[in-house]
Structure 1
Amino acid sequence: MSAGRSDVVAQLRAAGCVFAEDEARLLTAAAAETGAVLEVLVAQRVSGTPLEHLLGWAEFHGLRIAVAPGVFVPRQRTAFLVDEAVDLIRAGPGHPVIVDLCCGSGALGTAVATIITAEARPVTLTAADIDPVAVECARRNLAPLGAPVYQGDLFEPLPGELRGCIDILLCNTPYVPSEMIARMPPEARDHEPRIALDGGLDGLDIFRRVVAEAPSWLAPGGHLLVESSEHQAPVALAVLARHGLAGRIAESDEHYATVVIGTRPA
């Protein structure tokens, strides 16, 4: 390791970066590729700026997903939701209709569609988010897949022809209870939009709004997949049941992830 790299590692480690050596390598490469000043990038990282915002991308499910400052960074645990969706698609219609709602960077839709199209199966993918910065970012990620991204509140901007036709509804709703936002790491609390984090009093406010409308948008036998915390999942199941969706909980010890799945009766 060069003396310069060693100094960067030391600064990052002193700031509490657990993977300081990996981050030093990535920041050094980013500076070389973009012409940015390495010292400036390191100073921003030390001050709490998410690594992904400095790099301009996040690794997610083996893909490089573009992210911009002010955009929610896809979490590694959410790869489990992608895996669950892919399993359902493989067992379902030959040409699935997929919607990535509350899409943020579009990471979920990008990952699912990339996997399925690599298996020589066509997909129809659409995404939407209320945040214009996230929408612009998602458009960059979904452009190679030819998928449109709409801006608006939940289902409101979606084309009417999707109503009753969605086979897989990916929806990574914000699920952090409002009072817990202040306890989140500064990377998230200070650099990601609150609208992408704050789920209301119990963390399920946006989830309830999605579930209330989902039955009319899902195809018969279609599935809604939403990430939640372990303790929120039983409440989420009750919400699904009240709106006529058959619910189940999928959990992964490997990813420390919980996914709630609601299915419209066929």
Structure 2
Amino acid sequence: MPGMDGLAFLKALAALQPDCVRVVLSGQTDLDALVRMINETHIYRFIPKPWSAYFLKSSVAQGIAFRQANLENRRLAKMLRDNGIELPAGAINPVDQILVMDSDVNSANALARTLTQHSRLDDVFREVQEEVHARVPRLNPGSISVQISNSPLYGLRMADDLSFSCVIANYDLQGMDGAQFLVNFSEKQPECATILISDTANMEGIVIALDLAHIHAYIAKPWTDFELRAVVAQALARQRLQAENRILAKMCKARDIGAAD
């Protein structure tokens, strides 16, 4: 677009209207630009050209419904918080369950260690953020539990028995690729944050994961420890806030208060 590329526009729009659902239509976006749109502006959907009218309309309708649901939950939750009513004890598990899915067990274990071990670099980063008064979510190893699996089918069975806050999948899996695994997992647990990791994923795979599993981020291998922890911390913070708002909104509706005019 004249005077500003698509990524710069999305960043500016996100700063001005963070609740606006961002759908990208493009026939020229490269893989790097798509990844930056996902990670830096959290686009809702990417639709490559040429698109069908039905898919475009349904995508916009789903995006609007998603936005309206989030705004309504936030409005009702705010009403309770403003009146000093908080979440009842035990409403949300204080420990976030994270699932790491990778056919390479050594790689899965390395990722799990990165998430659960504290680093001096975390302290340095926190000090820098405090100096500039920035609020950045931090990963607390004591409040997470990491499960690993090298079998997509077993990972999907785990979703039937345990509620996860975040699932991280490598693109290269045995039996199905990571994008399809995240899609299948999201059908079982739609509120779970999803992250795709890979050094081989193509644009088609990332678009599928974005459009159908609404991935929070894509991380290219090899990752840096700080980048991985920062992305997961942000995903967990966002997931927890949305979960709290959903519960408070249900409490508000149960008391028959807060109905929109």
Q: Same fold (TM over 0.5)?
A: no
Tell me the TM-score normalized by structure 1: 0.33
Tell me the TM-score normalized by structure 2: 0.34
Which is richer in helix? 2
